[in-house]
Amino acid sequence: MQIKEILTLTPVQQEVTVKGWVRTKRGQAAVTFIAINDGSTIHNIQAVVEGNNINEDTLKLVTTGSCVAVTGKLIASVGSGQAVEVKAEKVEVYGTADETFPMQPKRHSMEFLREKAHLRFRTNTFGAIFRIRHALAFAIHKYFNDNGFFYLHTPIITASDAEGAGEMFHVTTLDIKNPPKTETGDIDYKEDFFGRETSLTVSGQLEGELGALALSKIYTFGPTFRAENSNTTRHLAEFWMIEPEVAFYELEDNMTLAEDFVQYVIKYALENCADDLAFLEKRLLDEEKNKPQNERSDMSLIEKLRFVVDNKFERLTYTEAIEILLKSKPHKEKKFQYPVEWGIDLQSEHERYLVEKHFKKPVILTNYPREIKAFYMKQDADGKTVRAMDVLFPGIGEIIGGSQREDDYEKLLSRVKEVGIDPENIWWYLETRKFGSAPHAGFGLGFERLVLFVTGMTNIRDVIAFPRTPKSAEF
């Protein structure tokens, strides 16, 4: 039985066995208190060792970080902080940990814990983060399953670049010291495993569209990779993406899906991760006490989550958003770091102003300039904008990006050539517009961005188990 279950029991002197890792050990010869955690909950259970009923040599091996099994009677706790405790009758030490164990009971910096990523799960903070991450992943699958979507596994190795960005990790079996060459001196990828140049995927969207144009409603949820040499708190080289694609959906349907979906998964976390969220909220409040007032969040963590769940999202066009920003006080007083004009790719400061100051609710922006959006987005009749949509959240700005997809073959082909993509490389994608094309739409949600928002953490490297970043592929 896990500690999470034991803590819910009514104590009637029943025998229980607690297995887990020691967080703290304190006390004197007469009585020793051992706090044990098995990862099932943020809460520890206390084992009480009285007198000499446990061998002294065994008790000496019980230290912070050691792994133990304690068997005894479950009794009502006389101390504060817990309702029940275990009166120990037997202690077995599975694995010892000496004084060099890094996770001693004190506050550690996030930088230190990233260096100890193999052990950071044992801290309260990371235990809470990864239980919440699990709950969000489960909620995502449950939402789509309950709404008639099919889970499609799109390839990790691909010959296409969905975004046209070119920042991809190459996959090859060629001898990198002496690769085969063509007559022109280029690497001869015909000699490679797949007979052509391949990379790790940046998105499952294009392949997802193929599934949607037969199964109607699909979603992907898998790892994606970008070889962007960025060391910011918002970037990872390996991350997870959720990408639904739906046939017969247009832009309005896509916005409704995104709003309903993201509210559902956050509400699920609020209902099923209350203890972990309460712990992280307190941690965030303690952390912000050391910040200047103007750098502190306007809302607590729970308030921010409720802000998203309880408000209907405001919908407006990119053009309307630019007009609001141009009339705003920060723009007139030149307090925005980045300039505002039609045609710019909005920065986080602009998006957060719209959400936090102007509308005071989540925002969905639509109909962006075609020049700043991807080739596959459906072109509007004005020739200047496309049927794109971005969902904006407090504290983070854009969290979801999507669009209605271009379903007209000639328009899509023209746009592909315009952005410099060889049509031969995505002939299969183009061909779906020749055989039974249909209106369809979808969006992408970076899973780590969502976990970052829900947990209140400030660095994306702290919400994935083993972060992959430039010059870092430890563990």
Q: Per-residue pLDDT for 165 more than 70?
A: no
Strands 150-151 and 217-225: parallel
For residues 323-339, give the mean pLDDT: 96
Q: Please report the pLDDT score of residue 408 as a whole number.
A: 97
Q: What are phi and psi of 410, to 5 degrees?
A: -65, -40
Contacts of 414 (CB under 8 A, 6+ apart): none
Buried b (16+ CB within 10 A) or exposed e, 348-373: eebbbbbbbebbebbbbbbbbbbeeb
For residues 208-232, give the mean pLDDT: 95
Q: Please report the pLDDT score of residue 270 as a whole number.
A: 98
Nearest C-alpha neighbor of 467 from the set 451, 442, 448, 445: 448
Q: What is the pLDDT of residues 27-47, one digit of tens each?
A: 877 899 999 999 999 999 999
Model confidence band, residue 337 (pLDDT cutoffs 50, 70, 90): very high
Nearest C-alpha neighbor of 368 from the set 290, 316, 303, 430: 316
Q: Considering the chain, what is the average pLDDT of its residues?
A: 95
Q: Per-residue pLDDT for 164 more than 70?
A: no
The predicted model scores a pTM of: 0.95
Q: What is the pLDDT of residues 439-452, one digit of tens each?
A: 999 999 999 999 99
Q: What is the pLDDT of residues 402-434, one digit of tens each?
A: 999 999 999 999 999 999 999 998 999 999 999
Cα–Cα dist 47/51, whole Å: 13
**What is the C-alpha R_g of the chain?**
27
Model confidence band, residue 79 (pLDDT cutoffs 50, 70, 90): confident
Q: Please report the pLDDT score of residue 407 as a whole number.
A: 98
Q: What are phi and psi of 153, to 5 degrees?
A: -90, 105
Cα–Cα dist 39/343, whole Å: 49
For residues 163-169, give the mean pLDDT: 71
Q: Are 213 and 432 in contact (CB under 8 A)?
A: yes
Nearest C-alpha neighbor of 12 from the set 82, 90, 74: 74
Buried b (16+ CB within 10 A) or exposed e, 240-254: bbbbbbbbebebeeb
